[in-house]
Amino acid sequence: MTVVGPFGLRVRDQALEADVQAGLAAVEAGLLDATKSEVPFITEAAQHLVSAGGKRFRPLLVMLASQFGDPDAPGVVPAAVVVELTHLATLYHDDVMDEADVRRGVESANTRWGNSVAVLTGDFLFARASHILADLGPEAVRIQAEAFERLVTGQILETAGPRDGRDPVDHYMDVLGGKTGSLVAVSGRFGALMAGADESVVDILTQYGERLGIAFQLADDVLDIASDSHESGKTPGTDLREGIPTLPVLRLRARAEAEGRPDDLELVELLDGDLSDDDRLAEALRRLRAHPALEQARRDTIRYAQEARATLAPLPECYAKAALEELCDAVVHRAG
């Protein structure tokens, strides 16, 4: 059994491990090539997060999904580069919106060069992704466009907040389906589609990616509270400080509203206050880490990962299917 990638994904077959490693290496080369510009400063800014690393979660899913067809098909690696470039571009934009100082353990682009450069660099990456996508055919362009529309819609819904009378948790799950689930779903879809897999297999891996993507983001929500910066690659409490709703906080608010416990109401008041003060943020993190809402968010993460695993049931038993099941466990482990 071989461990592949920073997820610690266990692969039980040497041939599969070799295919996945070769594919990810080709993706890495493709990312570096796609982020080069005739302007050296643009290259430096565009490669800032590429060089910082990352789990390459989406390209990994493309590679595993391609195993249900021809993993050596010419569109597989470019499709993986497209989804990762798109993801990287959203990170540049997210960090501006969140005023984040750290991303993937390094100084964020907005901190280093300012908001304008960070936003424009994200746009540059979107442009390069579109250029690669054009060579994959009109269907691939349509799939990516639909996913990108969902991604942006999710971001807008998060910014606007739930409409009156809407359950904030239900609203948040819709946000995650767009912001994160859409692009992970496309990763599964592209991998199978570019490899020429049967339509039923493409559909299964699309559904799998959607659920796994939501579980992945929920694990991030837990990490924002429960981890240190070494584990998560970003400053703990970033979402808390910026007032971004995450599932543990939404679960806390629902409990406080329903039960009216003084400790819960006091914690909600702390979260609604000024968390730019480091001591107040540390106190909020300390109390949330000990609160049942965090454990409930962990259970939600597990549930979505289990749903992702369940969608794989119709697929034939093989090493690639086992690896996709292991990926569900790896996502859950992040939130542990």
Give pLDDT tens digits for 132-148: 999 999 999 999 999 99
Residue 61: predicted pLDDT: 96
Q: Is the pLDDT of residue 231 over 70?
A: no
- Which pLDDT score is estimated for 112? 80
Task: Write the pLDDT tens digit of every residue in 263-315.
Answer: 999 999 999 998 988 999 999 999 999 999 999 999 999 999 999 999 999 99
Q: What is the pLDDT of residues 240-260, one digit of tens each?
A: 887 888 999 999 999 999 999
Judged against a pLDDT cut of 80, whether residue 3 lies above it is answered with: no
Q: What is the mean pLDDT of residues 75-97?
A: 92
Flag whether 158 is in a domain.
yes
Picking from 100-109, 163-172, 228-237, which range would have the lowest pLDDT averaged per residue? 228-237
Q: Is the pLDDT of residue 6 over 70?
A: no
| Res 100: pLDDT | 67
On whether residue 256 sits in a domain, the answer given is: yes
Residue 215 to residue 289: CA distance in whole angstroms? 19
Quote the pLDDT of residue 110: 82
Q: Is the model's pLDDT at 208 over the cut of 50?
A: yes
Q: What is the mean pLDDT of residues 157-181?
A: 93
CATH number of 249's domain: 1.10.600.10
pLDDT at 200: 98
Domain count of the chain? 1
pLDDT of residue 52: 82
pLDDT at 82 over 50: yes
The overall average pLDDT reported for the chain is 90
Choose from 93-102, 235-244, 263-272 the range with maximum mean pLDDT.
263-272
Percentage, residues of the chain above pLDDT 70: 93
Q: Is residue 4 part of a domain?
A: no
- Given a cut of 70, is residue 105 above it in pLDDT? no
Look at residue 37 and tell me if it is in a domain. Answer: yes
Q: Find the mean pLDDT for residues 95-115.
A: 76
- Out of 91-100, 227-236, 311-320, which region has the weakest mean confidence (pLDDT)? 227-236
Residue at 8 is within a domain: no
- Is it the case that residue 44 has pLDDT exceeding 60? yes
pLDDT tens, 22-43? 999 999 999 999 999 999 999 9
* Average pLDDT of the residues in 197-205: 98
Domain, as residue range, for 192: 13-334
Asked if the structure places residue 7 within a domain, the reply is no
Quick one: average pLDDT of 109-123? 86
pLDDT at 103: 74
pLDDT at 99 over 70: no
121 belongs to a structural domain: yes
In a domain, 237, yes or no: yes
